[in-house]
Structure 1
Amino acid sequence: MLNGLKKILGLDANDRALKRYSQTVNEINALEEEVAVLSDDDLAREIAEMRRRVVEGGQPLDEVMCRVFAIVREAAKRTLGMRHFDVQVTGAIALHEGKIAEMKTGEGKTLVATMPVVLNALKGKGVHVVTVNDYLAKRDAEWMGKVYRFLGLSVGVIYPFMSIEERREAYEADITYGTNSEFGFDYLRDNMAISPSQLVQRGHHYAIVDEVDSILIDEARTPLIISGPSEESVEPYKVADRIAKSLTVNEDFEIDEKEKNVALTEVGIKRCEKILGIEDIYAEVETSELLHKIVQALKARYLFKRDVHYVIKDGEVVIVDEFTGRLMYGRRYSDGLHQAIEAKEGVRIGRENQTLATITLQNYFRMYEKLAGMTGTAATEAEEFNEIYGLEVVVIPTHKPMIRRDFPDIIYRSKREKFAAVADEIKECYERRQPVLIGTTSIENSEKLSKLLSARHVPHQVLNAKYHEKEAKIIAQAGRVGAVTVATNMAGRGTDILLGGNPEFLALEEAEKRGVDVEGDRKAYEAILEEYKSLCDEEHKKVVSLGGLHVIGTERHESRRIDNQLRGRSGRQGDPGSSRFYLSLEDDLLRLFGSDRIQGIMEKLGMQEGEAIDHPLLSRAIESAQKKVEQYHFDIRKQLLQYDSVMNQQRIAIYDERKRILFADDLIEHTWQIITDTLDEILESYYPEGQEADQRGAVLKVKALFNGRVAECLTGVDDRSLLPEAREKMVSLLRDEFEAKLEELGRETANTIFKMILLHVVDSYWKEHLLAMDDLRRGIGLRALGQKDPLLEYQFESYNLFQQMLGSIREGVARLALKVSVAREGKTPQPQNRREIRDLALVGSAGKASSERNIEPTQGPRRTQKVGRNDPCPCGSGKKYKYCCGRNA
Structure 2
Amino acid sequence: MAALMKRLRRIIQRPASVELTKYEALLPAIGAREAEVEKLSDTELTEAAKALREFSTFGNDQLVELCALGREAARRALGERAFDVQLLGTMGLLTGHVVQMATGEGKTLAGALAAAGYAMQGKHVHVVTVNDYLARRDADWMRPVHDLLGVSVGWVEPSRTREERREAYHRDITYGAVSEIGFDVLRDRLVTRPDDLVQPKPEVAIIDEADSVLVDEARVPLVMAGSVDAGMADEEVANVVRRLRLGLHYETDTDGRNAWLTPAGSSVVEKSLGIDLYGEHEEGTSDRLAAVNVALHAHALLERDVDYLVRDGKVRLINASRGRVAELQRWPDGLQAAVEAKEQVPPSDRGEILDSITVQALLARYPQVAGMTGTAVAVAEPLREFYKLEVAVIPPNAENIREDQQDRIFASPSQKLRAIQEEIRSVHETGRPILVGTQDVAESEELAEKLEKFGVSCVVLNARNDAEEAAIIAEAGKHGAVTVSTQMAGRGTDIRLGGADGADRERVAELGGLHVIGTARYPSSRLDDQLRGRAGRQGDPGSSVFFASLNDDLVLSHAPDVPEGIASDDETGEITADVAHRQINHAQRVAEGVDLEIHRNTWRYTRLIERQRTDLLEHRDKLLHTELAAELLEKGAPDRYKELAEALGGTGDELVQACREIALFHLDELWSDHLAYLADVRESIHLRALAKETPLDEFHRAAIPEFHKIIGEVEARSVKTLEDGEITENGIDLAASGVRRASSTWTYLVHDNPFDSDAEEALKKVRGMLRKKKS
Taking structure 2 as the reference length, the TM-score comes to: 0.90
Q: Which has the higher contact order (CA 8 A, sep 6+)?
A: 2
- TM-superposed deviation, 1:238: 1.5
Q: Do structure 1's residue 355 and structure 2's residue 350 form an aligned pair?
A: no
Are the counterparts in 2 of residues 661 and 667 from structure 1 also a CA contact under 8 Å? yes
**Cα 1:162–1:782, aligned 2, differ >3 Å: closer, same or farther?**
same
CA distance in 2, matches of 1:634, 1:389: 14
773-782 vs 572-581, greater mean Cα deviation: 773-782
- TM-superposed deviation, 1:753: 1.5
CA distance in 1, matches of 2:7, 2:149: 41
Letter in 2 for 1:341: V
For residue 252 of structure 1, the aligned residue among 246, 249, 254 is 249
- TM-superposed deviation, 1:353: 3.0
CA distance in 2, matches of 1:16, 1:486: 36
Q: Do structure 1's residue 600 and structure 2's residue 602 form an aligned pair?
A: no
CA distance in 2, matches of 1:359, 1:666: 26
Give the root-mean-square deviation of aligned CA atoms: 2.5
Q: Do structure 1's residue 764 and structure 2's residue 669 form an aligned pair?
A: yes
Are the counterparts in 1 of residues 18 and 391 from structure 2 also a CA contact under 8 Å? no
CA distance in 1, matches of 2:408, 2:695: 44
Residue number in structure 2 paired with 1:43? 45
Letter in 1 for 2:437: G
SS in 1 for 2:25: helix
- TM-superposed deviation, 1:242: 0.6
Residue number in structure 2 paired with 1:780? 685
- TM-superposed deviation, 1:645: 1.0
Residue number in structure 2 paired with 1:558? 523
SS in 2 for 1:769: helix
1:678-689 paired onto structure 2 within 5 Å: none
CA distance in 2, matches of 1:492, 1:279: 48
**Can you list the C-alpha shifts for 1:742-796, whole angstroms capped at 9, x where unaligned?**
3345433432221110110001101001011112223335565444343344334
Q: Do structure 1's residue 265 and structure 2's residue 262 form an aligned pair?
A: yes
Residue number in structure 2 paired with 1:808? 713
Residue number in structure 2 paired with 1:571? 536
Residue number in structure 2 paired with 1:754? 659
SS in 1 for 2:309: strand
Letter in 1 for 2:549: S
1:271-420 paired onto structure 2 within 5 Å: 271-278=268-275, 282=279, 283-284=281-282, 286-420=284-418
- TM-superposed deviation, 1:644: 0.6
Q: Do structure 1's residue 442 and structure 2's residue 347 form an aligned pair?
A: no
Are the counterparts in 1 of residues 103 and 537 from structure 2 also a CA contact under 8 Å? yes
Are the counterparts in 2 of residues 741 and 818 from structure 1 also a CA contact under 8 Å? no
**Cα 1:315–1:845, aligned 2, differ >3 Å: closer, same or farther?**
closer
Are the counterparts in 2 of residues 408 and 619 from structure 1 also a CA contact under 8 Å? no
Are the counterparts in 2 of residues 417 and 610 from structure 1 also a CA contact under 8 Å? yes
CA distance in 1, matches of 2:593, 2:700: 25
Aligned pairs, how many? 735
**Cα 1:740–1:195, aligned 2, differ >3 Å: closer, same or farther?**
closer
Letter in 1 for 2:405: F
CA distance in 1, matches of 2:150, 2:355: 37
250-259 vs 431-440, greater mean Cα deviation: 250-259
Letter in 1 for 2:512: G
Residue number in structure 1 paired with 2:150? 152
**Cα 1:300–1:844, aligned 2, differ >3 Å: closer, same or farther?**
closer
**Can you list the C-alpha shifts for 1:707-754, whole angstroms capped at 9, x where unaligned?**
xxxxxxxxxxxxxxxxxxxxxxxxxxx544543443345433432221
CA distance in 2, matches of 1:303, 1:846: 34
Are the counterparts in 1 of residues 438 and 444 from structure 2 also a CA contact under 8 Å? yes
Are the counterparts in 1 of residues 633 and 641 from structure 2 also a CA contact under 8 Å? no
Bigger share in helix: 1
**Cα 1:337–1:257, aligned 2, differ >3 Å: closer, same or farther?**
farther
Task: Could you tell me which runs of 5 or more consecutive residues in structure 2 were left unpaired when the two chains were aligned.
Answer: 744-775
796-805 vs 174-183, greater mean Cα deviation: 796-805
Are the counterparts in 2 of residues 420 and 452 from structure 1 also a CA contact under 8 Å? no
SS in 2 for 1:437: strand
Residue number in structure 2 paired with 1:528? none
**Cα 1:735–1:842, aligned 2, differ >3 Å: closer, same or farther?**
closer
For residue 164 of structure 2, the aligned residue among 159, 163, 166 is 166
Residue number in structure 1 paired with 2:225? 227
Letter in 2 for 1:843: V
**Can you list the C-alpha shifts for 1:177-226, whole angstroms capped at 9, x where unaligned?**
11110011111111011222321111211111111111111111211111
Are the counterparts in 1 of residues 411 and 575 from structure 2 also a CA contact under 8 Å? no
Task: Could you tell me which runs of 5 or more consecutive residues in structure 1 were left unpaired when the two chains were aligned.
Answer: 504-535, 676-733, 830-837, 848-889
Letter in 1 for 2:257: K
Residue number in structure 1 paired with 2:753? none
Letter in 2 for 1:482: G
Residue number in structure 2 paired with 1:850? none
Letter in 1 for 2:28: N
**Can you list the C-alpha shifts for 1:101-151, whole angstroms capped at 9, x where unaligned?**
101111111111122111100133311111112221111111111100122
For residue 431 of structure 2, the aligned residue among 421, 430, 433 is 433
**Cα 1:143–1:786, aligned 2, differ >3 Å: closer, same or farther?**
same
Are the counterparts in 1 of residues 353 and 676 from structure 2 also a CA contact under 8 Å? yes
CA distance in 2, matches of 1:125, 1:138: 21
CA distance in 1, matches of 2:462, 2:425: 21
603-612 vs 308-317, greater mean Cα deviation: 603-612
Residue number in structure 2 paired with 1:94? 92
- TM-superposed deviation, 1:820: 2.6
Q: Do structure 1's residue 591 and structure 2's residue 559 form an aligned pair?
A: no
Residue number in structure 2 paired with 1:694? none
Are the counterparts in 2 of residues 475 and 492 from structure 1 also a CA contact under 8 Å? no
**Cα 1:15–1:780, aligned 2, differ >3 Å: closer, same or farther?**
closer
- TM-superposed deviation, 1:823: 4.2
Give the structure with higher Rg (CA): 1
- TM-superposed deviation, 1:72: 1.0
CA distance in 2, matches of 1:229, 1:173: 33
Q: Do structure 1's residue 66 and structure 2's residue 95 form an aligned pair?
A: no
Residue number in structure 2 paired with 1:34? 36
Q: Do structure 1's residue 739 and structure 2's residue 704 form an aligned pair?
A: no
Letter in 1 for 2:567: L
**Can you list the C-alpha shifts for 1:816-869, whole angstroms capped at 9, x where unaligned?**
2333332479x999xxxxxxxx9854326799xxxxxxxxxxxxxxxxxxxxxx
**Can you list the C-alpha shifts for 1:257-285, whole angstroms capped at 9, x where unaligned?**
51521212344333323212345664455
Residue number in structure 2 paired with 1:865? none
Are the counterparts in 2 of residues 336 and 352 from structure 1 also a CA contact under 8 Å? no
**Can you list the C-alpha shifts for 1:356-408, whole angstroms capped at 9, x where unaligned?**
11111011111111101111111111011000011101111111111111111
Aligned-residue sequence identity (percent) comes to 39
Letter in 1 for 2:29: E
Residue number in structure 2 paired with 1:498? 496
SS in 2 for 1:94: helix
- TM-superposed deviation, 1:489: 2.1
Are the counterparts in 2 of residues 472 and 492 from structure 1 also a CA contact under 8 Å? no
CA distance in 1, matches of 2:184, 2:488: 26
**Cα 1:130–1:279, aligned 2, differ >3 Å: closer, same or farther?**
closer
**Cα 1:8–1:754, aligned 2, differ >3 Å: closer, same or farther?**
closer
CA distance in 2, matches of 1:496, 1:799: 49
SS in 2 for 1:815: helix
Letter in 2 for 1:248: R
**Cα 1:19–1:349, aligned 2, differ >3 Å: closer, same or farther?**
same
838-847 vs 539-548, greater mean Cα deviation: 838-847
Q: Do structure 1's residue 843 and structure 2's residue 739 form an aligned pair?
A: yes
Letter in 2 for 1:743: E
Residue number in structure 2 paired with 1:668? 630
- TM-superposed deviation, 1:419: 1.4
Are the counterparts in 1 of residues 550 and 580 from structure 2 also a CA contact under 8 Å? no
Are the counterparts in 1 of residues 10 and 19 from structure 2 also a CA contact under 8 Å? no
For residue 613 of structure 1, the aligned residue among 575, 579, 597 is 575
Taking structure 1 as the reference length, the TM-score comes to: 0.79
Residue number in structure 2 paired with 1:641? 603
Residue number in structure 2 paired with 1:182? 180
CA distance in 1, matches of 2:88, 2:421: 42
